């Protein structure tokens, strides 16, 4: 099956009840192409407004390639920095863009993206447990110049893609996340599995030692996309 014939199904996990600063966007670009994005606004720094504004900009943008994403994010960064001076209007963003060829990842900040295939998982952006894993990209609005992390990978039938905020991945580490969804038949089942694991840890007040041994209260957002 050629990449331009790949079909996918998608579901979300979205609990914005802690700070109300996460936002996500799922945009169907036709012909199996899509844009998935997760924004995690920085608490106490206009995060809700910033994350919502980035989602609106990505929704409105004319997307013909990854450079259109870069242009939209650079414009948002300039606007935020002009108003907030690097201290206000701050948000992460992680974008997964598929236009029939490679999968493009474009991100700023710590919201991770994972690609699962054949029992293995790769982290394409973001960080886990406070440790920066992929570059040093700052949040949108944090500086006059926007330092974006970019990556590409190929997609095949059977692949699974997770685009998330750290409210998910600070409470379920990558290996556990992969194990939870690997055998799920649908993205809806994956979302339910992950949410159940997070809720169980909230009830018990613990997380794996890798993540500091305690639960982190935060908004929880994830987009699960399965390829067929």
What pLDDT is recorded for position 2?
A: 41
Q: Residue 82 belongs to what domain range?
A: 3-227
Count how many domains the chain has.
1
Using alpha carbons, select from 136, 149, 163 the residue that is nearest to residue 223: 163
What pLDDT is recorded for position 203?
A: 74
Q: What is the pTM of this model?
A: 0.90
pLDDT band at 201 (very low <50, low <70, confident <90, very high): confident
What are the tens digits of pLDDT across the range 126-156?
A: 864 443 333 335 899 999 999 999 999 999 9
What pLDDT is recorded for position 105?
A: 98
What are the tens digits of pLDDT across the range 52-83?
A: 999 999 999 999 999 999 999 999 999 999 99
Q: Which residue has the tokens 């809720």?
A: 199
CATH number, domain of 92, equals: 3.60.40.10
Both tokens of 73, joined, read: 């994010």
Rounded Cα distance, 115 and 109, in Å = 18
What pLDDT is recorded for position 137?
A: 54
């Amino acid at each position: 099956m050629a990449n331009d014939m790949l079909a996918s199904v998608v579901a979300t996990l979205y609990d914005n009840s802690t700070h109300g600063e996460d936002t996500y966007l799922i945009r169907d670009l036709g012909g199996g192409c899509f844009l998935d994005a997760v924004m995690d606004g920085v608490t106490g720094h206009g995060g809700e407004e910033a994350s919502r504004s980035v989602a609106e900009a990505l929704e409105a943008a004319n997307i013909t390639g990854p450079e259109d994403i870069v242009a939209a994010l650079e414009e948002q960064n300039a606007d935020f920095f002009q108003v907030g001076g690097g201290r206000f209007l701050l948000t992460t963003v992680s974008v997964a863009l598929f236009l029939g060829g490679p999968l493009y990842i474009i991100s700023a900040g710590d919201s991770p993206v994972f690609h699962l295939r054949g029992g293995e998982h790769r982290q394409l952006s973001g960080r886990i447990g406070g440790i920066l894993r992929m570059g040093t990209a700052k949040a949108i609005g944090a500086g006059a110049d926007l330092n974006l992390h970019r990556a590409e990978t190929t997609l095949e039938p059977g692949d699974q893609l997770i685009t998330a905020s750290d409210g998910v991945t600070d409470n379920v580490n990558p290996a556990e996340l992969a194990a939870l969804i690997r055998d799920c038949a649908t993205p809806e089942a994956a979302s339910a599995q992950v949410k159940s694991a997070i809720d169980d840890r909230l009830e018990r007040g613990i997380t794996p030692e890798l993540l500091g041994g305690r639960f982190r209260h935060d908004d929880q957002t994830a987009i699960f996309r399965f390829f067929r």
